[in-house]
Amino acid sequence: MKSLLIASCGMNCSICMAYLRDKNKCPGCRLFNKNEPVTIAKCKIKNCATFKRSKSKFCFECKEFPCERINHMDKRYRTKYNMSVIENLENIKKFGVKEFIKNEKIRWTCSQCGGTICVHRGYCYNCRKK
């Protein structure tokens, strides 16, 4: 898992449905290029002007953090997918991105086959174990 796969909003791209799928695969928020036809182009956080101006690497470095956009996303993810991007950001801030990735690896690796558990689907992309 590379740090480039951790998006500015604290989302771990490597457990995202768009990243894990075979067809029309997204390379990750930070590696995305405009010509690729994936939904990320519409992401309000990725396209956030304040964030871009601030030249920050993560949202917590932004003067507007936590803004309405990230609060909204956080609420959606906590409710629907049992994951908090704000909590992710706080962990990155506290322990650094390397340590965060180490813990993410443990959290999202399938105990049965070693595959990756998808945050959106809630099961392992490899063997479908929940």
Judged by the rule CB under 5 A, the positions of this chain that interact with Zn ion are 110, 112-113, 115, 124, 126-127, 129
Q: Is the dihedral of CA 13, 16, 21, 26 positive or negative?
A: negative
Contact criterion met (CB below 8 Å) for 59 and 71: no
Minimum distance from residue 20 beta carbon to Zn ion (Å): 12
CB closer to Zn ion, 84 vs 126: 126
When the beta carbons of 71 and 112 are compared against Zn ion, the nearer one is 112
Sign of CA dihedral 81, 83, 84, 85: negative
Closest distance of CB 31 from Zn ion, Å: 25
